[in-house]
Structure 1
Amino acid sequence: MINKIGKITIYVNDQKEAKEFWTKKMNFVIKLEQPMGPNMTWLEVGPSEDEFTSFVIYERQLMLAQKPDANVSHPSIILSTDDIETTYNELKSKGINVGKLMIMPYGKMFNFADQDKNEYLVREDKY
C-alpha cells in the first residue's frame, strides 16, 4: 500500500521564476533538476535533502501542450512548521506576500502567495 506522499506538482507560469522563489525566498533545496527534452526541465524542490516529499515545478503551458485537458489549477497545500512566529517573520522579511497570522483554537497558521499568486497555508504542527 501507499506509505508516503511522494511529489506534488505545482504548475507555474515561469519555471525559472518559481525556482528562484522556492530556493532563494523559501530556502528550499533543489532535489532534482534535469533536461526532459528541448526547452523542458524536470525540477523538484523540497525543504531539505532529507525530506522525502518534494514539489515538482512544471510550467502550465508545457503541460497544456502535452495534454490540453490537464487540470493546471493550483492544489491546496498546507506546509508545516514547529515555530510559526519565526517562519511568519522570516517570510515577511523576504518580501513574500503573507496574510495575517491566525491563532485558532485548533492551531496557528497563515497563508502566503508565491510568484504566480498561488496561495499556500503554513500551520504550526507540534509533535
Structure 2
Amino acid sequence: MTISISQVNIYVEDQQRAVDFWTGKMGFTITTDMPYGEDRWIDVEPPGGGTRLVIHKAAPDWPAPGLVKDGKPNYVMFQADDIVKAHAELAARGVRFTQEPTQQPWGWSAVFSDDDGNLFHLGQGESPAT
C-alpha cells in the first residue's frame, strides 16, 4: 500500500492576497481556481510539483490568523536543498522570516510567515552549502 499527502489546507482571511503571496513571493503555480460556494477553491503547487496547498477562506468564527497559536508555527514544513540560498531568494521576494536559518541538532531550520500571519517551517537535513 502507498499513502501520500495530496493537499494541505491553509486558512486565510483574503484568498486573493494569499494567491499573490504563494505565487508571487513563493513561486508556486495555481493548479485549480474555481468557484466554491461564495468563495473559491484554490490549489497551488510548489515549483517542481508535490503536495498542493488548498487556500481556504477562513470562516468568521475561525481563530485568525490561520492555525497559529501563541506564536507557534503550524506543522507544515517545507524542505530546501540549500536553506541559505532559499532564505536569501525568498527574503528578496518579500517573504518575512520570523526565524533566520539556524543549526538544530537534526539539521537547519527557519520560520517564515505568509501575509495572513500563518507560520511555516523551512528545513534542511544537512549543512547548507557555503
TM bucket normalised to smaller: 0.7 to 0.9
Q: Report matched runs for 1:1-127 at 5 Å.
A: 1=1, 3-37=3-37, 39-48=38-47, 50-51=49-50, 53-61=51-59, 73-74=67-68, 75-98=74-97, 99-125=99-125
Specify the code of the residue in structure 1 equivalent to 2:54.
V
| CA displacement, residues 32-73 of structure 1 (integer Å, 9 cap, x when unaligned) | 111123x3210001103632x1110001127x5xxx8xxx63
C-alpha root-mean-square deviation of aligned residues, in Å?
2.0
Deviation of 1:107 (Å): 0.4
SS in 2 for 1:112: strand
Verify the 8 A CA contact 2:14 2:57 in the aligned structure 1.
yes
Verify the 8 A CA contact 1:29 1:49 in the aligned structure 2.
no
SS in 1 for 2:91: helix
For normalisation by structure 1, the TM-score amounts to: 0.82
Deviation of 1:79 (Å): 0.5
For normalisation by structure 2, the TM-score amounts to: 0.80
Deviates more, 1:3-12 or 1:101-110: 101-110
Query: Structure 1 regions of 5+ residues with no counterpart?
Result: none
Deviation of 1:2 (Å): 5.5
Measure, in 2, the Cα distance between the counterparts of 1:14 and 1:35: 15
Query: Structure 2 regions of 5+ residues with no counterpart?
Result: 69-73
